[in-house]
Amino acid sequence: MSPLSCVDRTIIISNRLAGKGKDWRAIERLRDLLLDRGVSVETHVPESAENAREITRVAVSSGIGYVVISGGDGSLQNILDVVAGTDSALAALPAGRGNDFVRGLSMPRSIDGLALSILNRQFRTVDVGCVNNTFFGTIVSCGLDAEVGRLTAGGSAFGGMVGYLIQALKSIRSFEAYPVKVEVDGRVVADGEMTLVACANTPTYGGGFRVAPGASPTDGKLDICIVCRVSRIKALSLLHLMAIGQHPGHPEVTFLSGQEIRIETAEPLIALADGEVIGQTPLEISVKRRSLRVVY
């Protein structure tokens, strides 16, 4: 990738559903801050996820400097593969339930901070993950946590970690372990009944759950957290430890890292990436090193 081109041009794409439709004031403020400093700004409200991808594709192909998404983790994930590998930089106005993408990639969280970063041309290049040909920025997982994430995304009355905790407590009451085989860089590292497997590019999911506290989006690898079969009581204990990132070293938890991961299960399991259902096992997961520019 070459130095940023057309840095005086920015496109802002809104998810009309994110933040319950309350994000337009933030978009207008960011737009005005940039316009006042001579930056050319376009704003769009796509009709669908595919329309958002097409708008982004056109902007990126024209050499746009910055693509700003107003929305949540799913809105960002939707256009990741369009922006990755290009000269455009991705930014966000966080308006979702979890906002782990912004948190994990150290992107500005305030309107003023984002405007200042764009004006100062501040960006860095980070890794992204890929699972079964779908790009992700934070974490892909299957097992208990994926089921919790699916239920949370399906309409929890609470956002962030609170909503995740509520659904986790509900799910633990009836969860079962799953027969899983995990292969990392060509070597089988786990084969048996497990509670969850998470492959992380950044530390958190579920609105701040620190499932992989050591994960970094700039080290060229993914951190893998494997929790073997545990009782419901132990699952409750682990839930608290995972929320604050104190589970490394727990006897039922294994951490590894690698660049190529394969997850197979006896029965298909739902898989989540960036809080969105992306399909079922088996999963082929890899890291795309330093392939995405992000504002910071």
User: What's the CATH fold of domain 9-121?
Assistant: Rossmann fold (3.40.50)
Q: What predicted TM-score, i.e. pTM, was given to this entire model?
A: 0.88
The domain limits of the chain are 9-121, 134-289
CA–CA separation, 231 vs 14, rounded Å?
43
Please report which confidence band the pLDDT of residue 243 belongs to, taking 50, 70 and 90 as the band edges.
Answer: confident
* pLDDT bracket for residue 86 (50, 70, 90): very high
pLDDT for 3 equals: 46
Answer whether 9-121 and 134-289 agree in fold. Answer: no
User: How confident is the model over 132-172, as pLDDT tens digits?
Assistant: 999 999 999 998 777 666 665 554 444 556 656 666 666 66
Is 4's pLDDT higher than 70? Answer: no
Q: Render pLDDT for 27-56 as a digit per residue (tens, 0 to 9).
A: 999 999 999 999 999 999 999 999 999 999
DSSP 210-260: -SSTT--TTSSSEEEEEEE---HHHHHHHHHHHHHT--TT-TTEEEEEESE
For the domain spanning 134-289, the CATH number is 2.60.200.40
Neighbours of 155 (CB within 10 A): 7
Cα separation, 248 vs 201, whole angstroms:
17
